[in-house]
Structures are given as structure tokens and as C-alpha cells.
Structure 1
Amino acid sequence: MTPAIWLALIAVAIGGAAIAVQAPINSRLATHVADPVVAAAISFGVGFVALSIVAVMRGAVPNAVAGMGDVPWWAWTGGALGAIYVWASIWSVSTLGVVTLVAALIFGQLTAALALDALGAFGMTVREISWTRIAAVGFVGVGLVLSRL
């Protein structure tokens, strides 16, 4: 594998670890504010501030603002989809535990990813669904079931 692939894999692994840590942290926040939706909103607010600071420091804001007029309608839905994830994680982590939560998250991601790849959705390259890719999703599904035994 190329260095670029290794770097991307490391970045995604760190992001995955952040997701695992984020769920119980946000769940604790929800117990203090007495509402998972409020906790999700606070979490997004903190994330918005952090990313805004980084964007300003990088000087990326003028270019970003200039390109906003050409954005397709569906490209604006990412934050709402992220909100669904954050709320669902906050709401369910105390019931499921972190391992089952993350296994279910990954199973859902992989199931949707198979369809998105097959359709070439949102401008992505079409990638056919192979038996090995289906088996990979199936193994995660088995892991999800095993996490609850």
C-alpha cells in the first residue's frame, strides 16, 4: 500500500476511536443536561466552534463562501445526518454499551456503503458488490450479534 493509503487508514482509525470515545462522553453530558437532544446540540455547537477556528486559521473561509452557490441541495444534509448519529449514540450507549453501539454503527455504515458503491451515489465511482464485500458486512453482523451474547 502507498503512504497516502496508510495515512488515510490511520486518520480513519483515529476518527473511529473518536466516535467510540464520543458516545459515552456525550451520554454523560446528556445526564447532566437531562436531554439527549440538548446534549447533541451542545456537542455540535462545540464541534462547530472548533472547526470554525481551524477553518479561519487556515484561511479557507473566503474560498468556501465563494463556492456555496454551486452546492447541490442534498450536500447540505450532512450535518442533519450527523445529528441523527450523535443523538442515536447518546440515547443508546447506556443501554447497548460502547462495543455493541460501535458494532451496530459499523454494520449500518457498511450496509449503506454497499448500496452507495453499487449506485455510484453522490458522484462516487461505481463499485460492484462482490461476495467478499457481502461476507465482510456479514462478519460485522455476526460480530454485532456476538457482542450481545
Structure 2
Amino acid sequence: MSAWLLWPFAFLAGVLNTVQSGTNTTLNKALEQPVLAGMAVYGGGILGLLLMSPFLGLSFAGLGGKAAQAPWWAWTGGVIGAVYVLATLTLAGRMGAGPFTAVTLTAAVLASLAMDHFGLVGFEVHPANLWRVAGAVLMIGGVVLIARN
């Protein structure tokens, strides 16, 4: 992907993250079963990946060897994603889109700064500096302002 597309694509992903919280909440209200709603979300995700795969060059050649090279923690993304989906199914509707997204996004920024600083879970080291820490503090302030009624 061209470098100039990275930022708009990341922005779109952020917008869709909030939209997904709303769609997940609505589905959970209709089904009244967060686990079944979560399964439906993952089923839709699998279908979406299958539909996109021809455009992304899906290849199973050498997959077994590549899979064996991945560290154990690289395989935990699905379970981690399930926790997030269940959070959207059960919390976003009660908290509201603004507070839920503000809290989850700020938590993601704080975790990201730590992961960058220490080079955790496959990220290259990007040391924390005054600007990054100031940005994190401003994010926390934003959560406080957004969560106020």
C-alpha cells in the first residue's frame, strides 16, 4: 500500500471502529445474547475476509512453515478481538458511543506508547518522549471531558 494511503486508511479504520460498536450493540439488543451476537460478528468478518482475499493475493503456499515461525502470543489476536467485541456488545450501548470510544481509544494510545517504548509484541522501539507523553495526558483529559454529562 502506498505510504500516502496509510493515514486515510487508518482514519477510516477508526471511524469504522466506532460504527462497529454501534452495529454490534444493535445486534446484541436484537438477539439478547452477546455470545451469539459475537459469533455473528466473527462470521461476518470471516465472510468479509474471504470476499477480499482475491484482491489481497491469498496464497496457502508454505503456510505451515510460516505459521510455525510465529511466536505463541501472535496467535492470541482472535481471543483478544473476542474480548473487544464482547465489550462493544455489552458496554457501548450503556456508556454511549462517545465515552466508550474515548475510553477504549485512550487505553489503546496508552498501551501503544508502552508497546512502542519497550518494543513489545513485535513493534519496533519508538521511545516515549515529552510530546508523546503530553499527547497521552491530553487524551486522558479528553476522556474526562467527553464522559461528563
TM-score between both structures, scaled by the size of structure 2: 0.89
- State the partner residue of 2:130: 131
- Of residues 95-104 and 119-128 in structure 1, the stretch that sits farther from structure 2 once superposed is 119-128
For structure 1, the 5+ residue unaligned runs are none
Question: Quick one: distance in 1 between partners of 2:4 and 2:61?
Answer: 29
- State the partner residue of 1:23: 21
Aligned length in residues: 147
Matched, 1:47 2:48: no
Amino acid at match of 2:36: V
Q: Confirm or deny: 8 A CA contact 2:98 2:147 kept in the other structure.
A: no
- State the partner residue of 1:143: 142
Please point out which of 7, 14, 30 is paired with 1:32. Answer: 30
1:99 Cα deviation after fit: 1.1
Question: Quick one: distance in 2 between partners of 1:83 and 1:58?
Answer: 24
Task: Quickly say closer, same or farther: Cα 1:59–1:97, change in 2 above 3 A.
Answer: same
Question: Quick one: distance in 1 between partners of 2:9 and 2:57?
Answer: 22
Question: Quick one: distance in 2 between partners of 1:110 and 1:96?
Answer: 20
For structure 2, the 5+ residue unaligned runs are none
Instruction: Calculate the aligned-residue CA RMSD, in Å.
Output: 1.8
Question: Quick one: distance in 1 between partners of 2:55 and 2:147?
Answer: 45
Question: Quick one: distance in 1 between partners of 2:60 and 2:2?
Answer: 28
Task: Give the 5 Å matches for 1:1-149.
Answer: 4-56=2-54, 58-63=56-61, 65-66=63-64, 67-149=66-148
**Matched-pair identity in %:** 28
Question: Quick one: distance in 2 between partners of 1:15 and 1:58?
Answer: 17
Structure with more of its chain in helix, by fraction: 1
